[in-house]
Structure 1
Amino acid sequence: MNQPEKVLYTGKTHTTGGRDGAARSSDGRLDVRLSGPGSAAPGTNPEQMLAAGWSACFIGAMGLAAQKMKVALPKDTAVDAEIDLAVTDGAYFLQARLNVSVPGVDAEVAQALVDAAHQTCPYSKATRGNIDVVIALV
């Protein structure tokens, strides 16, 4: 495991009730009700939060790659993240798809940005080899 040279930020949350509970960050900026996937109850679920966090981080990693490549990343760059909660033989697991849109950028350059982001994004690193991930340039 890597030893950090410097910790840039620590996100802290307190969660109660599991999938039918609530989560709140230590600074109060995140305060959400939780509900099971597909439930009619109010609230979000861990899969949606993972999708939102990963897609935001991935776009940030694309921005860093664009700077290194000396290309402009369009402001309307988008990632549609899909996180599946799946089950096989009673065992739960996740799988993911990231559909990346980089409007107005040559497909070869856009693919290079996506490839670089997938190598540097902390979410991509955390999931690499642990879950099936498909990344598509759309």
Structure 2
Amino acid sequence: MTIEPVYTISSKASGGGRDGEVVSASGQIDLDLRMPKEMGGSGEGTNPEELFSAGYAACFLGALRATSKQAGNPVPDESTVKVTVGIGKDPSDGGFGLTVGIEVYIPGVDEAKARELAEKAHEFCPYSKATRGNIDHKVTVVV
């Protein structure tokens, strides 16, 4: 598969990785990074999993809007997507791995239709495509 990007952005991490700083080329992101308390850090900054969950949630909501509109069922403006990213030990190699939980809320749409729209968005979303087969995903519909 060959992708021809219409937009690119880079970010640079410095310092200790999870205890450092990350700055995007646009300057819109300029954040201190700290290990979460749950992993022995101070928790006083953000972390890669928090940033990933934010990007994934925004991307998935965009995919939900695009696919539902294309199917002739545009979702209400009040629709939301919450992405929960988990990190933990990977027993297969002793390193770390990620999990992703995706909660989709589409007000005024019955659960079966909402589930169908969420699954279409999951197939379409670039973040879902990039992580499929590498991260356990669980997509749920919140009624």
TM-score (norm 1): 0.92
Structure 1 residues 107 and 41: CA distance shift in structure 2, 3 A: closer
Tell me, yes or no, if structure 1 residue 61 matches structure 2 residue 63: yes
Tell me, yes or no, if structure 1 residue 30 matches structure 2 residue 32: no
| Structure 1 residue aligned with 2:107 | 103
RMSD: 1.3
Q: How far did 1:88 drift?
A: 4.0
Q: How far did 1:40 drift?
A: 2.8
Aligned residues: 136
Q: Distance in 1 between matches of 2:85 and 2:5?
A: 27
Q: Distance in 2 between matches of 1:66 and 1:107?
A: 14
Q: Distance in 2 between matches of 1:112 and 1:41?
A: 37
Partner AA of 2:111 in structure 1: A
Cα shift readout 1:61-119 (whole Å, capped 9, x = no counterpart): 00111111112211121122111111144321111111111111122221121011100
Partner AA of 1:56 in structure 2: A
| Structure 2 residue aligned with 1:15 | 13
Q: Distance in 2 between matches of 1:23 and 1:40?
A: 17
Q: Secondary structure at the match of 1:19?
A: coil
| Structure 2 residue aligned with 1:86 | 88
Unaligned runs of 5+ in 2: none
Unaligned runs of 5+ in 1: none
Tell me, yes or no, if structure 1 residue 114 matches structure 2 residue 114: no
Identity %, equivalent residues: 37
